[in-house]
Chain A
């Protein structure tokens, strides 16, 4: 049905499904791609002739607008723009537009509500265990300095692995679950890839007394049976979906659409239609704010380089956002190179993808000539996503952030290196960020400060690394 390069993705099918249920037929006004004339040149193939504009355009890129607002007032800016340059937007069926607007309004209100902010801060402190330390990885730094006459950068790890739930995902899950409760919703629905976000959501919902349903790809459920069990123990219902994460994500949306009065769709990643990318980024930005404060305490300055892995981009944005305005801070995102870019089996969206619409937003994505999604691959399940956050796409296009790639093998080596040198198991996702230090460090001057986001704990990956080593006979 869909052959244009612009990926129609989940929303096409969700609206079909919705139609089948006898809902009013709004197909003509939904599905895709609104165009601006100057953008036609980027999209090469057939477009339906009659399109509705369903995104909210802004005059300026988000960055400048926010900067202006920040300069104008010291209160939290009203988040009402859904675009990051040309990326982002709200490519969704008409019925969802209302929901999303309501969500956005609620989110804005919460951002200005002192009691919500205080309650969130307290929960992040007592339940999630923030602030997470900024840890000087002395032995890792010395390992690199050894090859260079004792000179080299100082490497710090932002310990998101110490969060409750074992990853940065909790920052967002907790905040959104609180918003769901504020909105009077009784249940939460979400989708998870390997289970980390599912666990964080299940835990937050248990704490707040909300029902929780998690959709997961059936084959992931088998692979990550421990995570499934953890979610069930936390009281969540785990539903298997045939296909991969994107199908689980679609199913979650479908489920939400059917029950919009009582349920809340908790998005785990900085992707999706506005306001989701912005919401997730705002809630994750506590990472960057703490880092600024801790850097000041530790060495009286700012970091010189920030490194984070990029699957969808939530942990990277969480670290980077605080420093976007600080031009002297270098931002580096590391994507999953899988078996290598030439092999075609990877998840390096920003490195090799093209612009299209996926899951409600315009961003880079891995698509073939017919506009079909290319199944991503990475040894790290949290990086296996064919799209990426629209905000990161914007940062790439403006050159504010650099993006590179680490292969499965490089990530595995980095995993083992951190275990042996610091006694910390990084998640395989975070190991990608650590992997590029090999190439980055020789280019940095002595004493520069590098902060790597250790976005998750790698206990969950020990079995994968174990199997890999056995299989390759290294063990």
Chain B
């Protein structure tokens, strides 16, 4: 689930050449608490707020006009120097945060080239997180999808559930904590809804000896007392947020407030590929190890590439982690699966890329679920991690250019997949992951014999047992 910067901060367009300022002052903190509509009605629906300096940038020209490399493959600049993926992305934040973001980006680029940093990170990923995660051939699942004539695709699961803490989240948390340490920051903040991202953050802070503060809505704290306890056991301070509805978005506002106040000493660990630049790029790069390993393992196992990659999409980090390596391989199909909740027509879902419209949320321009007045529609999904009204800007871009396809799966279909995969393979998927697995029902009948499908098994489902039992009546 993406930890997110408050949406209203994004409504405060920076006073730069990028766009016209609205009525908000960038230092008006009280606005953080609300999802304000501001100028969104017009701002999100037209491109007038996007400065034409962006379209002058050659790297965001339409696909056909990309510069071709000598070997014929197309070079994507993702994102460009302003943090844009096409028209998506960007840095819609208060002026006070611009410096921090620029510093972060500079640090990221310099550490990416730093061998010592990369070696230390690789060592931590190997010994602490437990990488590489296997690419597991799901024999019984493959059998299940064989057609009457014995033909069907071959299904592989990329086992991110075997990581320390049981999900892909730690790849990014660990890297960002190491980055923060290199930057000399002693303090880490994060916000969390159900607690998963909070626990991952607290885990890495314990490992690196960093002070950790997690903001959590008071209501959420009551519902997730065990996760609160886990975070405290790990040495993190969990601060209750009582304002607003005392849930995730209010916790987000508090976290932002803290970051703005303490920006010199504090690093904000954002959990997904959403948020202002450089976060979408950074988080993607830190998760890209998933795709890199998959390429290598696919070569070892069947001497080729995967044909189809499937991943669930909430904020989009696990999907970008798997896809990124293969975006330039046109023969690899990329499929993202969002949460359709009670159904796309019910109004209770989180299918941002299917039903959303373009707007600015949490510091970036992307698709989001908004009504006619530009107000955020509260999303719903049985899985907390997919319960997000926005999506990473890079996914919006990949959808618009047609490079990736996005579909959605209802709560019910996800629960069916949850049960099916547990029974057939002895691995209990997280409810988030179950959405990706549920899509196999729809796609497998259409795939040719022997097609290699890799599903990103982004997390394990121990945490979802109680929820599932309620619905499944096992």
Residues of A near any B CB (own CB < 8 A): 125-127, 129, 132-136, 139, 159, 162-164, 166, 202-207, 209, 226, 229-230, 232-235, 416, 419-425, 459, 462-463, 465-466, 475
Are A423's CB and B140's CB within 8 A?
no
Q: A133-B126, A419-B233, A423-B206 are in contact. Are A226 and B465 (CB under 8 A)?
A: yes
A48 CA to B462 CA in the complex, in Å? 51
Q: In the complex, what residues of B have CB within 8 A of residue A134's CB? A: 127
Do A233 and B426 touch across chains, with their CB atoms under 8 A apart?
no
Cα-based distance from A133 to B122 in the complex (angstroms): 13
Within the assembled complex, what's the spacing in Å between the Cα atoms of A421 and B164?
Answer: 15
Q: Is the CB of B206 within 8 A of A463?
A: no
Contacts between chains A and B (CB distance < 8 A), count: 119
Interface size class of B (residues with CB under 8 A): 35 or more
Task: Give the distance to chain A from B225, nearest Cβ to Cβ, in Å.
Answer: 8
Q: Complex formed: what's the CA distance from A274 to B203 in Å?
A: 43
Residues of B close to A230: CB separation below 8 A = 428, 462, 465
- A132-B130, A135-B128 given; A233·B162 CB < 8 A: no
Q: Given A133-B126, A139-B207, A226-B466, is A233 in contact with B474 using a C-beta cutoff of 8 Å?
A: yes
CB contact under 8 A between A127 and B136, given known A230-B465, A234-B428: yes
* B202 within 8 Å of A (CB atoms): yes
The answer to whether A206 and B130 have CB atoms under 8 Å apart is no
Q: Which residues of A contact B299 (CB under 8 A)?
A: none
Please pick, from A207, A425, A459, the residue contacting B140 in the complex, using a CB distance under 8 A. Answer: A207
Nearest chain A CB to B29 CB, angstrom units:
32
Which residues does chain B contribute within 8 Å of A416, judged by CB atoms?
Answer: 233
B229 in complex: contacting residue of A132, A233, A423, A466, CB < 8 Å: A466
Are B136 and A420 within 8 A (Cβ)?
A: no
Residue of B nearest to A125 (CB): B134
> For A162, what are the chain B residues with a Cβ–Cβ distance below 8 Å?
130, 162-164
Pairwise interchain contact B226-A423, C-beta atoms closer than 8 A: no
CB distance from A150 to the nearest CB of B (A): 16
Closest to B465 in A: A229
Complex CA distance for A260 and B135, rounded to whole angstroms: 36
Q: Is B246 an interface residue (CB 8 A)?
A: no
Given A134-B127, A420-B233, A423-B205, verify A235-B162 contact (CB < 8 Å): no
Q: Is the CB of B126 within 8 A of A234?
A: no
B117 CB to closest chain A CB, in angstroms? Answer: 17
Q: Find the residue from A203, A419, A462 having the highest chain B CB count within 10 A.
A: A419
Separation of A422 and B209 alpha carbons in the complex (Å) = 8
Q: Identify A129's interface contact among B162, B207, B233, B428, CB under 8 A.
A: B162
Q: A207-B425, A423-B204 are in contact. List 17 more A-B contacts (CB 8 A).
A: A126-B135, A126-B137, A127-B134, A129-B134, A133-B130, A135-B127, A139-B207, A162-B130, A164-B162, A229-B469, A230-B428, A235-B422, A423-B202, A424-B164, A425-B233, A465-B229, A466-B229
- Asked if B98 CB lies within 8 Å of chain A CBs, one says no
B97 at the interface (CB under 8 A from A): no
User: Does B348 touch A at the CB level, under 8 Å?
Assistant: no
- In the assembly, what is the distance between CA of A206 and CA of B161, in Å? 17
- 11 A-B pairs with CB atoms under 8 Å apart are A129-B159, A139-B209, A206-B426, A207-B140, A230-B465, A234-B423, A419-B206, A423-B204, A423-B206, A463-B226, A475-B229
Q: Looking at the assembled complex, report how far the CB atom of A400 sits from the nearest CB atom of chain B, in whole angstroms.
A: 29
CB distance from B382 to the nearest CB of A (A): 15
Among B205, B209, B466, B468: residue with most chain A CB under 10 A: B209
Q: Which residues of chain B in 380-428 are interfacial with respect to chain A, using CB atoms and an 8 Å cutoff?
A: 418-419, 422-428
**Residue ID in chain A nearest B423 by CB atoms:** A235
Q: How far is the CA of A213 from the CA of B217 in the complex (A)?
A: 42
List residues of B (262-285) whose CB comes within 8 Å of A's CBs.
none
B426 is contacted by which of A163, A204, A419 (Cβ under 8 Å)? A204
Knowing A132-B130, A463-B226, the reply to whether A419 touches B235 (Cβ < 8 A) is: yes
Instruction: List residues of chain A with CB within 8 A of the CB of B205.
Output: 423
Cβ of A430 to closest chain B Cβ, rounded Å: 14
A233-B419, A421-B206 in contact; A126/B465 too (CB < 8 A)? Answer: no
Q: Which residue of A lies closest to B464 (CB)?
A: A233
Task: Say yes or no: A159 contacts B130, CB within 8 Å.
Answer: yes
Closest to B207 in A: A423
What chain B residues lie within 8 Å of A229 (beta carbons)?
A: 465-466, 469, 474
Q: Which A-B residue pairs are the 3 nearest by beta carbons? A: A206-B426, A203-B426, A423-B206
Closest to A470 in B: B229
Q: How far is the CA of A230 from the CA of B166 in the complex (A)?
A: 15
Q: Which residues of B contact A (CB under 8 A)?
A: 126-128, 130, 133-137, 139-140, 159, 161-164, 166, 202-207, 209, 225-226, 229-230, 233-235, 418-419, 422-428, 462, 465-466, 468-469, 472, 474
Report how far A174 CA is from B472 CA in the complex, Å.
27
B123 to chain A, nearest CB (A): 9
The residues of B that contact A465 with a CB separation of less than 8 Å are 229, 233
Q: Which residues of A contact B469 (CB under 8 A)?
A: 229, 233
Residues of B within 8 A of A136 (CB): 127
Cβ B207 vs Cβ A203 within 8 A: no
Assembled-state Cα–Cα distance A132/B166 (Å): 14
Q: Chain A residues with Cβ under 8 A from B203's Cβ?
A: 423-424
Report yes or no: B427 in contact with A203, Cβ–Cβ below 8 A. yes
How far is A95 from B90 in the complex, measured between Cα atoms in Å?
Answer: 75
Which single residue of chain B is at the shortest CB-CB distance from A459? Answer: B462
User: What residues of chain B lie closer than 8 Å to A209, measured between beta carbons?
Assistant: 140
B209 pairs with A206, CB closer than 8 A: no
Chain B hits for A166, CB < 8 A? 462
A420 contact set on B, CB distance < 8 A: 206, 233-235
Min C-beta distance of A184 to chain B, whole Å: 18
CB distance from A413 to the nearest CB of B (A): 12
Neighbouring B residues of A135 by C-beta, 8 Å:
127-128
The interface residues of chain B lying within 8 Å CB-to-CB of A226 are: 462, 465-466
Contacts of B418 in A (CB 8 A): 233
Known: A207-B140, A230-B462, A423-B203. Is A164-B127 also a contact (CB below 8 A)?
no
- A-chain residues with CB within 8 Å of residue B204 when the two chains form the complex: 423
Shortest Cβ distance from residue A127 to the other chain B in the assembled complex, whole angstroms = 6
Are the C-beta atoms of A206 and B207 separated by less than 8 Å? Answer: no
Residues in B whose Cβ lies below 8 Å from that of A424: 164, 203
- A174 to B, closest residue via Cβ: B426
If the complex has contacts A233-B422, A419-B235, are A164 and B427 also in contact, measured as CB distance less than 8 A? yes
Q: How far is the CA of A337 from the CA of B229 in the complex (A)?
A: 26
Q: Which residues of B contact A459 (CB under 8 A)?
A: 166, 230, 462
A233 interface neighbour in B128, B161, B225, B468, Cβ under 8 Å: B468
Cβ A462 vs Cβ B130 within 8 A: no
CA gap between A419 and B204 in the complex, in Å: 10
The answer to whether residues A466 and B133 also contact, given A133-B127, A206-B425, A234-B428 and a CB cut-off of 8 A, is no
With A and B bound together, what is the CA distance between A256 and B225 in angstroms?
Answer: 42
**How far does the alpha carbon of A166 sit from the alpha carbon of B422 in the complex, in Å?**
16
Rounded to whole angstroms, the CA-CA distance of A462 and B235 in the bound complex is 14
B234 touches A419 (CB 8 A): yes
Smallest distance from the beta carbon of A347 to chain B beta carbons, Å? Answer: 25
Distance of A475 Cα from B135 Cα, bound (Å): 42
Q: Of B136, B139, B161, B226, which contacts A462 at CB under 8 A?
A: B226
Closest Cβ neighbor of B140 among chain A residues = A209
Expressed in whole angstroms, the Cα–Cα distance for A136 and B204 within the complex equals 15
Q: Give Cα distance in the complex from A146 to B474, angstroms.
A: 51
Residues of A contacting B225 with CB < 8 Å? 466
User: Which of A125, A163, A207, A475: most chain B CB closer than 10 A?
Assistant: A207
Q: How far is the CA of A422 from the CA of B207 in the complex (A)?
A: 4
* A423 partner residues in chain B, CB cutoff 8 A: 202-207, 234
CB distance from A467 to the nearest CB of B (A): 10
Chain A residues within 8 Å of B134, by CB: 125-127, 129
Contacts of B136 on A, CB cut-off 8 Å? 126-127
Residue of B nearest to A469 (CB): B229
Inter-chain contact B233/A462, CB cutoff 8 Å: yes
Q: How long is the Cα–Cα vector from A423 to B428 in the complex, in angstroms?
A: 24
- Nearest-Cβ distance from residue B296 to partner chain A, whole angstroms: 14
